Amino acid sequence: MTALILDGKALAEQIRAELKEQVATFSAETGVVPCLAVILVGNNAASEIYVRNKQQACEKIGVKSEMYRLAETASETELLTLFETLNRNDAVHGILVQLPLPKQIDEQNVLDAIVPQKDVDAFHCDNVGRISQGRPRFLPCTPYGIQELLIRNNIATAGKRAAIIGRSNIVGKPMAALLMQKGLGGDATVTVCHSRTPDVAAIARQADVLIAAIGRAKFITADMVKPGATVIDVGMNRTEEGLVGDVDFAAVKEIAGAITPVPGGVGPLTVTMLLRNTLTAAKLFKNR
């Protein structure tokens, strides 16, 4: 039996329609327009596309987007000075710096320089700590989108085994934290696999929910998937055959109960949850 295809693009459009109404109501009641500042350093082609998509998404739901460009040769001091200005600007509610950054800039120093109340990517150590304690201010956009995808498709996580392939700070670690929390979209028993994990396939085969975020094309094969499992593919790998995920989609969809495609799965939800975080940031500012 072929798996249910989890359409992240359609869900993203649904959530954005909801957000558009929420932004309009918030702005009408408070006179405040949520504002996201996006910083791009250098001329990375992929980053240019991502930033443009974020700006267009903001415009469509009524969120103001401000773009700040710095040269490829910009120093860390220049970037931190810009953050100081944006941190003090009450008209800016969310700050996002597009990664990766040029090698002369320490990424962690930069992420820590954003005040936690404007850290809509949820990368600041304060926000990471809050997530681990189950009292988040914001949730990291990709894990947030995955959790929303599971909830809205009525995919149970409580009491289920979840395996996450990859332990990055952006996806793997926060995803594990969300799935372990009490409540809707949580209460799972979670295993995180990484480059030092022996027999990843054996662990993957036990998972009711399998999340691949390793950055290796078609790493998850059909023999690594439990029949009927939900498979979430976070990977985006450019190959000779085009854009493919970390999952061998054609083979795995014949084994899994539900699966996300690439593209059109997790990706659209990542930007959508950034928009939700920006609205949340504006609300927090207004209620402080």
DSSP-derived pairing of the beta strands 242-244 and 237-239: antiparallel
3-state secondary structure of 239: strand
Alpha helices in 8-164 (DSSP H): 8-30, 45-61, 76-88, 107-113, 125-132, 141-152
What is the Cα–Cα distance from 123 to 128, expressed in whole angstroms?
Answer: 6
Label residue 59 exposed, middle or buried (CB < 10 Å: 0-12, 13-18, 19+).
Answer: exposed
Residues found in the chain: 288
For the question of residue 117 being annotated catalytic, the response is no
Catalytic residue among 121, 233, 246, 248: 121
In whole angstroms, what separates CA 182 from the centre of its chain? 20
What is the Cα–Cα distance from 158 to 151, expressed in whole angstroms?
Answer: 11
Name the DSSP letter for residue 281. H
What is the Cα–Cα distance from 155 to 209, expressed in whole angstroms?
Answer: 9
What is the Cα–Cα distance from 177 to 283, expressed in whole angstroms?
Answer: 25
3-state secondary structure of 12: helix
For the question of residue 54 being annotated catalytic, the response is yes
Catalytic residue among 54, 118, 173, 218: 54
For the question of residue 121 being annotated catalytic, the response is yes
Q: Which residues are known to be catalytic?
A: 54, 98, 121
